[in-house]
Chains A and B, each alone.
Chain A
């Protein structure tokens, strides 16, 4: 009976374990899959002729001849559109004055929307903003813009509840009786010829500068910023953290002071990251004035503080796990404490310390709050190495937040945002993978 109960309990716990693992795996999949799929959209998508024109004019990619040929085809396809629009102007001028005003504004709206879809009208001066100089570069966005050309969005309040309902009215209704109504079916039928979407692999998304607030280009400044910030934080926190751990484990005698230090560290580990950010601003920038304003250095220092407790804790545990016999052997051979630590204890503790470092790297790369006030800006160019002491930088974590909250045209650049998330998550996964491999290799070397 008792044996039976034990068996049942054992099975129940094993089952619970499997369920928990399954739920975790499913959650991970649900979280990561959309990120990877949507993120991949920043690299692989159907690029239009406008994309290729941009790449040629700004980055010199592709050949002039190929582009010319394509542009010729495109303008042939587009010519009837502009002809119809010009004809509409004439017809409106001849229309009864009562309707003229309404029609004129409708036509102006239509022309605006057409410019967004196809780029500036031929023969007109180029607008100042880069985004005005090109039509839609991505086919998925072009489809959305096409819909906006074909339909106008209005609100229908006729329902019994009096609550408005969004309805799409064909735009051709606004131009009843004019020849321009034939523009819409023509546009729908020939839009692929006007934009010529091709499947494009844009791996340079990783290394291109961003142009016009991420409307064009890639995420190099953000990646580089995250790299500098993380590397800086690690360079500051690791020596400090490992030395602290060595002091706590090898030199300090357990007592009031050490206990106090330890509880300070635990407290530090529990401080919200935004508080670190404010502290970094108040201390590193305003008090110590490590830089005149936000800089990578100030951000790295703040992030270093944030990850310090993790590094210390990991290093301490790794050092404690080194068998006492190694220390005795070294001391008996006449090594001093410091010599014992760096020639025997630290090499043996290396796998554990490394794991701590890489976990901290992932944390530092992903943290947003500490760099808001100390390092991050929303737009910038890739920094040179010596500029890290004085210049602020965009960074993946902060710009993901920035793009989805403060950007003037969030919907237009969703793909960039997903691309950044994809890269950041990929980066952290890559880091962890490196840690696992590195750790396994070192551990294998240590354990024969």
Chain B
């Protein structure tokens, strides 16, 4: 394993010898790196390299999978995410997630965005409306849906649905936004809009994005981590990594020799 570079930024999430096991299989193997606050970090790697597993470990979505457990440390705000004392529910409110396939609830657009705030006990109509509007504006969807907030969300196009999911995640004011291949089910135009949106959100949120698309990683991210078979092979500034990869494997992957 290579020596991991530590970017000169404030870390927001720190992985230290962090592993994830599915039963006996170690899907993520003792990775150690810091994720920078307020930047976009891309995780790339071939299928089955553990990048999604790592991403889902950050807000403990892996808990749903029977037989899945974690080892080592994953520190967020000075506490270990896998500490048994930690409140998973509030953790997930601070670390939002956007999934590969747009998954709005079969409810109205308004109710989709208001779902998170309602969970946190916001029930005043005016306050909710304000949050919904703010979140939809931030997700660059407001202008398209402001006249039909009470339409079913499933009537939106795929790209709009994905931006709605981003708005839904933003509505609870998370600190970190996890994105698991958020554009893989979308057409190129919708993809561009999401990428633009990621650019706009940079700075306000720490964004960690898993992607299969090397160009996308190069376009949207400040830092890139390359995973291969559960190991973190290389981690560094995106520009550096794509122009001067340190490892042979990284170079092979980003030039498309395998993956």
Task: State the A residues within 8 Å of B (CB).
Answer: 253, 323, 325-336, 339, 343-344, 347-348, 445-448
Contacts and interface: CB of A to CB of B under 8 A. Distances in A.
Contacts of B89: 334-336
B90 A334 contact: yes
Contact of B154 (A330, A336, A447): A447
Of all A-B residue pairs in the complex, the 8 with the closest CB atoms, nearest first, are: A325-B103, A334-B93, A448-B154, A448-B155, A332-B97, A446-B106, A448-B152, A334-B92
A343 B112 CA distance: 11
B137 interface: no
A444 to B, nearest CB: 9
B103 A326 contact: yes
A348 B106 contact: yes
Nearest to A343: B115
Contacts of A347: 106-107
Contacts of A330: 105, 115
A328 B154 contact: no
B92 A333 contact: yes
Interface string B91-127: 1110011010101111100000001100110000000
A331 B64 contact: yes
Interface string B148-171: 000111110000000001001100
A191 to B, nearest CB: 68
B105 A332 contact: no
B76 to A, nearest CB: 15
Given A348-B106, A446-B106, A448-B152, A329 B66 contact: no
A340 B172 CA distance: 16
Main secondary structure of the interface of A (DSSP, over half): helix
A329 B165 contact: yes
A138 to B, nearest CB: 55
Nearest to B95: A332
Interface of B: 59, 61, 64, 66, 89-93, 96-97, 99, 101, 103-107, 115-116, 119-120, 151-155, 165, 168-169, 172
8 contacts: A325-B103, A329-B99, A331-B64, A332-B59, A333-B96, A334-B89, A334-B172, A448-B154
Contacts of B59: 332
A145 B116 CA distance: 76
A323 B101 CA distance: 12
A253 B61 contact: no
A334 B88 CA distance: 8
Nearest to A446: B106
A333 B99 contact: no
Contact of A326 (B92, B96, B105, B120): B105
A325 B90 contact: no
Nearest to B101: A325
Contacts of A335: 89, 115, 119
A328 B119 contact: no
A351 to B, nearest CB: 11
B103 A323 contact: yes
B92 A329 contact: no
Most buried by B among A334, A445, A446: A334
A344 B105 contact: yes
B176 to A, nearest CB: 12
A332 B96 contact: yes
B66 A253 contact: yes
Contacts of A339: 119
B59 to A, nearest CB: 6
Nearest to A339: B119
A68 to B, nearest CB: 65
Nearest to A329: B103
B61 A331 contact: yes
Contacts of B153: 448
A338 to B, nearest CB: 11
B113 to A, nearest CB: 10
Given A328-B103, A333-B116, A334-B172, 15 more contacts: A326-B103, A326-B105, A327-B64, A329-B99, A331-B61, A333-B92, A333-B115, A334-B116, A334-B120, A336-B89, A343-B115, A445-B152, A446-B152, A447-B152, A448-B151
A331 B155 CA distance: 23
Contact of B169 (A323, A333, A344): A333
Contact of B61 (A328, A445, A446, A447): A328
A255 to B, nearest CB: 11
B106 A333 contact: no
Nearest to B103: A325
Contact of A333 (B66, B151, B155, B168): B168
Nearest to B155: A448
A339 B116 CA distance: 11
A440 to B, nearest CB: 15
Contacts of A329: 99, 103-105, 165, 168
